Structure 1
């Protein structure tokens, strides 16, 4: 299966920061309107890839990105809960920023070393990959799909990346063993 992986557009956290909202509440932050035209240009580029369907994370920034792209492409759009962000705490509790960063760096080090950590309180890269692959397995009847999601989902599928993928950018990915 070929994937046109799009990282969501640039979010606007100004209102949620001003109101001191939790990370969960920040997931509802919209896109930054100053970057919408960039997404429209990406949609024109992606059009050349001839994908058959769009699959999106449920987070606002991803859904808005998928919708902007779909205005150009006019494809079926599916929202998939399991294309969401990496979970910093598997118990669903609040994790302070310093601890979240520590867990994130540990998570990325394990991905870089292709090692699956045991007995950690956060979601491992292997678990994230598994849930993303479970979603994608339902779309194997398509030869090329657009996935609008988050960097950590991309990296779990593509492997460790020295450099990220900018918000509103896309990469092509061939997922072995799928379609």
Structure 2
């Protein structure tokens, strides 16, 4: 199955920061006005003419990115919980500092574990996301997946995925 991985567009954390949201609540952030323009431009990519099903991470920024794309394309779509971003704290209960987050993310990318956080490993991310893809591989020959840079890195090796970057992979 061909999969087009699509990174969400540019997020605007000012609203969630202004009300003091931390941890998982920060994932309620929306796109910037520029992020909407980036998503609208990405929607013109010919890949969307091939996509038979669009899977979407449950974060606001990914759902809003998909909303912008779907304005131009009538593609069946489904929000899938397990397509979410990498988790720096698997318990979801810690108040992680920027320093802890930076070290854990470096460990995540490098495949090491020097951080004191119990973060989701690369293997765990792949297992989680693959479990979703496996549900669709016998039903479709081409799907799209609006997800996150941390997830996409595991499939592409690219650590600097641009907002609305689109990468094609072949999934077994």
- Work out whether the TM-score is over 0.5: yes
Q: Does residue 170 in structure 1 map to residue 166 in structure 2?
A: yes
The residue that corresponds to 1:127 in the other structure is 124
Q: Which runs of 5+ in 1 are unaligned?
A: none
Aligned residues: 169
What are the superposed Cα offsets for residues 131-151 of structure 1, whole Å, 9 maximum, x if unpaired? 000000011121111100001
The residue that corresponds to 1:143 in the other structure is 141
Q: CA RMSD in A?
A: 2.0
What are the superposed Cα offsets for residues 7-26 of structure 1, whole Å, 9 maximum, x if unpaired? 00111111122223203221
- Aligned counterparts of 2:131 and 2:17: Cα–Cα separation in 1: 34
Map of 1:89-100 to 2, 5 A cutoff?
Answer: 89-94=89-94, 95-100=96-101
TM-score, normalization: structure 2?
0.90
- Aligned counterparts of 2:82 and 2:14: Cα–Cα separation in 1: 26
- Aligned counterparts of 2:14 and 2:54: Cα–Cα separation in 1: 28
The residue that corresponds to 1:107 in the other structure is 108
Describe the shift of the 1:28–1:167 C-alpha distance in structure 2 as closer, same or farther (beyond 3 A).
same
Describe the shift of the 1:120–1:34 C-alpha distance in structure 2 as closer, same or farther (beyond 3 A).
closer
Residue 7 of structure 1 contacts residue 170 of structure 1 at CA under 8 Å; is this kept in 2? yes
The residue that corresponds to 2:52 in the other structure is 52
Map of 1:14-93 to 2, 5 A cutoff?
Answer: 14-47=14-47, 49-93=49-93
